[in-house]
Every structure is written in structure tokens, then in C-alpha cells.
Chain A
Amino acid sequence: MSLRNFQIYRGDGTVGEMKSYQLEIEKGMVVLDVIHRIQAEQAGDLAVRWNCKAGKCGSCSVEINGKPKLSCMTRMNEYAEDETISIRPLKAFPIMRDLVADVSWNYEQNKRITPFKPDPSSKNESGDYVMMQEDIDRVQEFRKCIECYLCQNVCHVLRDHERKDAFVGPRFMIRLAGLEMHPLDMQDRIPDVKNSYGSGMCNITRCCTDVCPEHIQITDNGIIPMKERVVDRYYDPVMKLIGLIFRRK
């Protein structure tokens, strides 16, 4: 047991302040436990979003000591005893109240993406789609995403430069990558990846990968392969020539 100091944002998207709290910490507590305890004992109106407390629902994203993290997966023993721990809502999205940010912009982006479109002729005799594991490994890595939007929040294109008009963000770049690399999908999204989803806005500085709680290699396995496919299509005269000569009938 030890008494620890906390600073938590209290307010909405227009006015608010960092408020100090103190709490006795027990062994094994995570930051979300702290928030709940403060909510129960000291600030009944403290708004916080959470659901699974197991790192699987992606609801509890906040910024702890300035780092975007899942509060349910951040253990108190990561921090020194005398350290004041600050908890803020995500910076890249509008604040609803206290620690709750409005992440609905992300759902809008998701809707913009042309969904999976399998080739019906690739069904086998019994009418099933069959895939080999090797072909689907890449896609499955991206399917681990829990939509916590920590990557979207940390991406400087969205966070600091506010180019939500030009870039869908890393989470949706890997959704696109998963669809584009899918062995059964027939849709071509590469022109949109470049022109409307904004692959060129990312400067591969990898903060999305650094914060991803599912350890998805967003940049190396998702965004860079998409950029390379865009190069094939738009920036590689040699590939263009080869494409012209061997164009599939």
C-alpha cells in the first residue's frame, strides 16, 4: 500500500483543468482500477470509457504521462512511487467529457472503404472458399486490431497537423492492406489508397507501430507495402512498361 498522486483532466472540449487526486494503491492495480476507485470514492461524476478490462475491447484508450495507452493494460508498478501520474483524454479527437473522447470520425473512415469482395469462381466443389494459411498470415496480423485508435491518436498527421481531410490514418491503412493482400479479394483499391485515403501523407515515422497494444507492425507490414504497391502503379516507369508488354488479357 502506498499513497500516490494523480492528475486527471476534468472538463469538456472547451473548458477544463487538470485536477489532483490522491489514492492508496494496492498491489496489482492497473491505471483503470485507479480511475474507477477515484470515481467511486472521490469523484462520482468522472467520465471514463471502458468495457472489458482485458485489453481486448479497445475502449479505455487515454494518455498516461503523455503516452497513448490502454488504461486497463497499464500497471501501476510501471511508475516510480514518487511520480505524479497524469491521465488525459486522447488528443486527436474531440473531447466529450473528462477522459472520454469522441472517436466517431474513425467509424466514418471505415465506411469509406470498399468492403471485401471475393471472387465467386474461387469456390471449391462444395461451394466453400478455401485459403492456405501462408496466404492469410499477413491478413490475420491486421485482424488482431482491437480498434483502440491509439495509433490514430498518435499519428502526427491527424494529431498535430489535423489533416483528417487527407489521411484515413494507420488503423485504416492496415484494413486496406489486409483487403489488398487478401488472396480472394478482387477489388482494386490502390488508386484510392493513394488519392483518397492518403498513403502519401504518412511519412513512416512509426509512432503508430510504437503504441499499438496488439503489437501489429502497422508501418512495416501494412503501410510500407501499400506505398510500394502505389509506387508500382504510379511512380515506376519500368514496371509500367513491363505491365504494358505483359498485360493480362
Chain B
Amino acid sequence: MTEIPGGHHSGFLQSNRADKWWIEPLWTGLGFLAFVVYTTWAMFQGDHYWWSAGQGGFGGYLSPFYSPLIFIKQGVAGAAPMDHAWFGSWPGWWPKLIPATPAILILAGPLSFRMTCYYYRKFYYRAYFMSPPACAVEGISQKKYKGETLLLVFQNLHRYTLYIALGFVAILSYDGILSLFRNGEFGIGVGSLILIINPILLAGYVFGCHAFRHITGGNQDCFTCPNGKTSVRYKMWKGVSRLNARHMFWAWISMIWVAFADIYIRMVSSGKWIDYSTWGY
């Protein structure tokens, strides 16, 4: 540690802050790491992502990590029936080295959305890249700091991942409806509640996105032009802004919930937990 004029401490992780500034980057860093570890593990399992109490017909619970199902590998414990696959059974050309799990085909969608999200960027720049670790705490010194101009310029593509995320809100909402049926019969189970709450939380996150806020109205200089009346876009922008103000909350709650939904279905599907429901089977 060196002290420079002004009495300031200078050097990596140096600060004059007397409070526990490292708590926030630590807990967010560890929390997200736990999510990544679980998600990776759950993705590579490739099984027990579906539960319909052994019934065929319309309805059942599908883990959000595995939705939508592009291909389905048959003969796997806890796999969905073949008619849920968009393109049928698992392709023969799939390389042996990569596990045949439907989750691997879709994970890039939600992942790219979250990783380019303005909130996630804040948190991982702070917690993992230490740029800066906390306010008024020095990070790793760089010769010529470039911010998001050079290597990180791809972050500007966030709005494209938003379009993908909007698709996921629709798909997961459909899964929520799917969960209200078992063998074609309407009912409700704990799993249905979990799978209905899931797209709602995701929507709270996606519809509060900064890129969405920009597209709905943020790109306008005048909301009342040309006739002096507030436009529909203004009202949309207002609503999005309200969600946006709590974007961090929605980011975390939707992320934790999606992992919880996978755990729940995995447990029920592998017979470890019982799914209480109105169907009684």
C-alpha cells in the first residue's frame, strides 16, 4: 500500500473506506457462482426434466432449463414424450463427446441475455473483474483503460438477446399452461404454481430491460408531439420504467426461481419429492 498526496491509499484493492465494502461483491459473486455451478450440473444431467405422473396426453411439468425441447433423446429417465420435441428425436450425428441433453441446445439464449444485461454487467464487472470492486476502491490498474469500447463492444448487442428473451417469456408461459393439465385433465399442483410464477418473474425482468425501455419510448425526445396528447408509447415507457427501477430485484428473483423450478421438477421426476396436486395421482 502506498499513500499518495491527499492521504489516499493507492494500489490494487486499496481504499480509505472504513466500512465493509467487500461484502456486496462477495455475496453477489458467490451467489451467481452457485447458480452457474448448479445450472451447469443440471444441464449436463439430461434426465428428470419432465414429470406427468407417468401419464401421456396433454400436460405435464417441463423444467425451464430444458424448454423449448428441440430434440428429445428417448429411453432417458424423466424425459418428455416425443411429441414435445420441435424436431423429433435426438440426431444421430450428435458428437459422442458432447452430452446429449436438450438443455445444451437452448441455454445460450437466456445466458447471452443475462450476460449482456446492464445490471449483470454492473455486478460482474464489480465482483469478478474488479473494475472497480466497489466504489472508491481501486481495481486492477490498466495501462490504458478502454471501458466497453474495445473488447467489450459486443455488449452493445444486448437488444438482440432481448428479442430472444421475449420468445422465452412466451414459451415459458405456454409451459405454465401445460402444467395445468395432466393426461389432458385440468387441475393444479405445486409444480403448476411454480411453473406459472416462473414466466411472471421472468417477464418482470425482461419487461424492465433497459433496451426494452429504450425501444418502447426512451428513444423519443417528445412524448406528446405532434398533438399535445400523451402517446401510448409514453404509457408503455412509464410502465417499463417502473419495472426498470427495480431491475436488480427482478434479475435475481427470476434467476433464483428458474433454478428452483428445475430442482423441484428434478426431485419430483426422480421420485424424491411428492407433488401435491388436485389430480390425486
Please give the residue numbers on chain A whose beta carbons come within 8 Å of chain B beta carbons, in ascending order: 7, 9, 11-18, 63, 65-68, 83, 86, 88-91, 95, 101, 132, 134-135, 154, 156-157, 159-161, 163, 167, 180-183, 185, 198, 200-207, 210-211, 217, 220, 224-225, 227-232, 234-236
Contact = CB atoms under 8 A, between A and B. Distances in A.
A63 B132 contact: no
B147 A88 contact: no
26 contacts: A15-B5, A16-B6, A17-B7, A67-B17, A90-B6, A91-B6, A134-B230, A154-B136, A156-B138, A157-B147, A163-B145, A183-B224, A185-B221, A198-B149, A202-B148, A205-B126, A205-B132, A207-B132, A211-B135, A220-B245, A224-B118, A228-B219, A231-B214, A235-B153, A235-B157, A236-B156
B234 A134 contact: yes
B15 interface: yes
B142 interface: yes
A91 B131 contact: no
B16 A160 contact: no
A17 B8 CA distance: 10
Given A157-B147, A183-B225, A66 B136 contact: yes
B121 A204 contact: yes
A9 B16 CA distance: 12
B211 interface: yes
Contact of A12 (B5, B16, B17): B5
Interface string B195-231: 0000000000000001101100011011111001010
Contacts of A210: 135
A69 to B, nearest CB: 10
B143 to A, nearest CB: 9
B219 to A, nearest CB: 6
B214 A160 contact: no
B84 interface: no
B5 A203 contact: no
Contacts of B118: 204, 224
A134 B224 contact: yes
- What are the 9 tightest A-B residue pairs by CB atom distance, in nearest-first order? A66-B16, A66-B17, A161-B145, A207-B135, A201-B147, A228-B214, A200-B149, A235-B156, A183-B222
Which size bracket describes the interface of B in this complex?
A: 35 or more
A99 to B, nearest CB: 9
A231 B148 CA distance: 12
B145 A157 contact: yes
A132 B224 contact: yes
Given A160-B138, A201-B148, A235-B157, A180 B221 contact: yes
A167 B17 CA distance: 25
B156 to A, nearest CB: 4
B244 A220 contact: yes
A183 B222 CA distance: 5
B222 A200 contact: no
Given A161-B142, A204-B118, A228 B211 contact: yes
B98 interface: no
A166 to B, nearest CB: 8
A65 B221 contact: no
A204 B124 CA distance: 11
A101 B6 CA distance: 9
Given A68-B136, A156-B139, A201 B7 contact: no
B260 interface: no
B122 A86 contact: no
B7 to A, nearest CB: 4
Contacts of B136: 63, 66-68, 91, 154, 159, 207
B147 A63 contact: no
Interface string B148-162: 110011001111000
A156 B132 contact: yes
B96 interface: no
B146 interface: yes
